[in-house]
């Protein structure tokens, strides 16, 4: 990515940046420090910079207290301390900024009590681009005395006077710019329910599915999932009829289908944002955002996400069948739940990959039976 940027292959650079974020998040985390520093060597890596900073602002202690912190570039430090959602007290942010400034000037002692005038001037010059991003008026009175006052000579006289004035008389007008307080993030716990929303998937599964829908690099947790699942249809293989599916699901949008596979721990399913249409009998609907999946569960160690690669054949509609994804003309279906013979099967054609880690037959098809299935409509929580 760095090399393509140096050769001015801007489109390829952006593709590589997107590829890393969307498919190699684990690798990025394992090499976080190096990735963070590299991303700020060129301001063209904006997406990667934001990806790194989104992690840092939520867990700033790990970053500021790491051994690599004082070696980061100035633009990287500024990008963090200017964030409104940096989850750290202002006095601590100030402390770490001072720590970074001292590290850039090895000859300056760590104790400001023994600094010379030249030391203060050097530090003020070093931090001239960082100081405007400190929220001075959010520092408590005690912290002003303990942490800010020792470095008072680094601040402009007018700013220092306004800081003191504001603490003595909060209602008094001051001339200094007051930056807005940083936003404290809170986690909203989901409402308690008397019974689970699903008999097949849990809240963690639901959060993973909606993370795929929003193409999130960092998956939602069960407590911050912004979507709710409304059950449209639930049943078993023996109780399935095409009429029940079409009566409740015809032309409904934002549909999630899940099915528990008989005799295994597998949960297979798919997401259809545009819905099925009975009037298109034996035809396809184009969709760019649909996907099929299998979820980690029991002995299944990892989930599999398979996004559509042939949008023209993304959604298959047939009045004598249940929900179906993909296919190629009359051959194969990437996921078919209940065909006209009530069979269920998968055959990789119009989606990126197979969603079952089992043997497929010579025609590339894997048949299975469903213990139970559920069809949900999802929507943003109010």
CB 229: neighbour CB atoms within 10 A?
20
Write out pLDDT tens, residues 291-345: 999 999 988 989 999 999 999 999 999 999 999 999 876 668 999 999 888 899 9
What is the mean predicted confidence (pLDDT) over 89-117?
95
Placement of tokens 């002003």 in the chain: 144
**Residue 192 confidence class, pLDDT cut points 50, 70, 90:** low
Question: What does the mean pLDDT of the chain come to?
Answer: 91
pLDDT at 191: 56
Show the tokens assigned to 23: 């498919």
By CB neighbour count within 10 A (0-12 exposed, 13-18 middle, 19+ buried), where does 267 fall?
buried
In this model, does residue 48 exceed pLDDT 60?
yes
Instruction: Answer for the pair 294, 300: CB distance below 8 angstroms, yes or no.
Output: yes
Q: Which residue has the higher pLDDT, 166 or 354?
A: 354
Mean pLDDT of 260-277: 96
Query: What pLDDT sits at residue 188?
Result: 58
Average pLDDT estimate for 78-105: 95
Question: In which residue are the tokens 């299998």 written?
Answer: 294
> Tokens 């840092």 sit at which residue?
56
Residue 265 has pLDDT above 70, yes or no: yes
Using the Cα atoms of residue 347, residue 280, residue 236 and residue 202 in order, give the sign of their dihedral: positive
Q: How far apart, in whole angstroms, are the C-alpha atoms of residue 273 and residue 252?
A: 9
Domain borders along the chain are 2-168, 203-380
Q: 140 — phi, psi (to 5°)?
A: -65, 160
pLDDT band at 348 (very low <50, low <70, confident <90, very high): very high
Most confident of 9-23, 29-43, 326-340, 361-375: 361-375
Q: What percent of the chain has pLDDT over 90?
A: 66
125 pLDDT more than 80? yes
């Amino acid at each position: 990515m760095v090399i393509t940027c140096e050769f001015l292959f801007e489109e390829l650079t952006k593709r590589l940046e997107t590829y890393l974020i969307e498919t190699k998040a684990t690798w990025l985390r394992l090499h976080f420090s190096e990735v963070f520093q590299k991303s700020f060597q060129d301001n063209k890596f904006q997406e990667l910079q934001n990806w790194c900073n989104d992690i840092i602002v939520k867990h700033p202690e790990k970053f500021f207290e790491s051994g690599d912190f004082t070696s980061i570039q100035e633009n990287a430090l500024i990008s963090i301390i200017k964030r409104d959602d940096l989850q750290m007290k202002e006095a601590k942010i100030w402390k770490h900024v001072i720590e970074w400034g001292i590290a850039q000037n090895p000859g300056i002692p760590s104790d400001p009590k023994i600094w010379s005038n030249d030391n203060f001037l050097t530090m003020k010059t070093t931090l001239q681009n960082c100081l405007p991003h400190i929220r001075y008026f959010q520092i408590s009175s005690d912290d002003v005395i303990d942490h800010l006052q020792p470095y008072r000579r680094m601040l402009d006289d007018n700013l220092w006077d306004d800081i003191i004035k504001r603490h003595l008389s909060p209602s008094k007008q001051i001339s200094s710019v007051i930056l807005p307080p940083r936003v404290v993030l809170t986690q909203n716990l989901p409402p308690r329910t008397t019974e689970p929303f699903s008999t097949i998937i849990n809240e963690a599964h639901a959060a993973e599915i909606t993370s795929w829908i929003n193409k999130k690099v960092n998956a939602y947790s069960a407590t911050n999932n912004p979507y709710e699942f409304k059950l449209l249809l639930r049943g078993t293989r023996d109780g399935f009829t095409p009429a029940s599916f079409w009566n409740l699901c015809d032309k409904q949008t934002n549909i999630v289908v899940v099915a528990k596979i008989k005799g295994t721990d597998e949960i297979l399913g798919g997401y259809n944002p545009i819905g099925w249409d009975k009037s298109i009998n034996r035809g396809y609907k184009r969709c760019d955002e649909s996907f099929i999946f299998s979820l980690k569960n029991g002995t299944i160690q990892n989930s599999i996400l398979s996004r559509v690669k042939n949008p023209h054949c993304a959604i298959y509609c047939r009045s004598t069948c249940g929900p179906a994804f993909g296919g190629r003309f009359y051959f194969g279906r990437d996921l078919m739940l209940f065909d006209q013979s009530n069979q269920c099967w998968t055959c990789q054609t119009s989606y990126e990959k197979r969603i079952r880690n089992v043997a497929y037959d010579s025609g590339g098809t894997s048949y299975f039976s469903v213990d139970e299935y559920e069809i949900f409509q999802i929507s943003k929580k109010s």
